[in-house]
Structure 1
Amino acid sequence: MQTTGWEDEFREYVRARGPALLRQAHQLTGHPLDAEDLLQSALTKTYLAWHRIEDRGALDGYVRRAMVNINISQWRRRKVEEYPSDDLPEVVHHHHEPVGEVHEALEQALRELPERMRAAIVLRYYEDMTEPEIAKTLGISVGTVKSTVSRAMAKLRNALAG
């Protein structure tokens, strides 16, 4: 199958940056399979817009922004899909490369945050966005961003202290 130069360029970008982007997607979603779906959706949007993206140095930012926007859209329209049950599902154990205990504890604490709090923390401290940028991205006021980040940080501190 013959490919164009830009398709090869896109394929190489995904090969080179895919693992780092998947880690960022996992930080946003808190679940490995959701992260894969989120990254795939963001890469699809990037593929469709590839010819319009002039600054190839800004590709990571474009994909991250797409992941944030897709994730926000999903949790805004998400319906309750979890129902109480008498039977607990079997626990799945994921094997990760060994990392420090503090890092693991932080990742676990992040996964346990409500989605809006997790999104605000990831945008603020992982993406280094300002409070007004976060407010615009999440569609909330700056005051709500401040209180959400403050409450999320308190929850993270409590989780890591215990």
Structure 2
Amino acid sequence: MPSWGDTLEAVMRERGGALFAYAYVLTGNADDAQDLVQEALVRAFRRRGAPQGIDPAHAYVKRAMQTAFIDAHRRAKARPQRDDREADRIAPDHAPATDTLDALMDAVTSLPPRERTCIVMRYLDGLSAQAIAHELGLAPGSVRRYLHDGIATLRRTHGDFGLEPADAVSGGADHHVIVTTKGGTR
């Protein structure tokens, strides 16, 4: 059986890029994404009971990132600090996005943390509302509300990315909808 150090090394070697990309979608910033990955790795591997194997460890680190991201915003609300991005939210640049991926990234990062996390888990991970609720420890109705509100906000502020409110409300129990960009994979 490999040690936790071997598992950590294997996860970073084989899945480090994917973990960073996931964190980047959540945070919208490379520096914050690196910090989030590091915090999640510490949370996942700080005890000897860390998950063994690449797949379980990867899933555990992703879950730690989701939790850390929401926790950070919860703490920030308790101790408000100046947000340098506030000016961008108040007076957005109306120049057309040069790429669908850039537009989607801007749109998703404009959402509040819980809505953003639910949207990412639903459309990037392809999880149902039930699965998201289980992962985040929320009521399924709360997840459906976060998904519905997030999609409504995206449509109102950034246009239609093909995300259907009905799919969010039903939670995709029958199928998984994974957002892709033209010429790319998820």
Q: Is the 8 A contact 2:4 2:52 kept in 1?
A: no
Match of 1:29 in 2: 27
Give 3-state SS (helix, strand or coil) of 2:18's partner.
helix
TM normalised by structure 1 equals 0.74
Match of 1:143 in 2: 141
Match of 1:116 in 2: 114
Sequence identity percentage? 32
Q: Is the 8 A contact 2:8 2:45 kept in 1?
A: yes
Report the AA paired with residue 35 of structure 2.
D
Match of 1:65 in 2: 63
Q: Which runs of 5+ in 2 are unaligned?
A: 89-97, 161-186
Q: Is the 8 A contact 2:7 2:57 kept in 1?
A: no
Match of 1:13 in 2: 11
Structure 1 stretch displaced more, 123-132 or 75-84 = 75-84
Q: Which runs of 5+ in 1 are unaligned?
A: 90-99
Q: Which has the higher contact order (CA 8 A, sep 6+)?
A: 1
Give the 3 Å change call, closer, same or farther, for CA 143–6 of structure 1 in structure 2: closer
1:77 is displaced (CA, Å) by 2.1
Task: Report the aligned-residue RMSD.
Answer: 2.9
Report the AA paired with residue 68 of structure 1.
Q
Match of 2:52 in 1: 54
Distance (whole Å) between structure 2 residues aligned to residue 76 and residue 19 of structure 1 = 27
Give the 3 Å change call, closer, same or farther, for CA 12–53 of structure 1 in structure 2: closer
Structure 1 stretch displaced more, 104-113 or 53-62 = 53-62
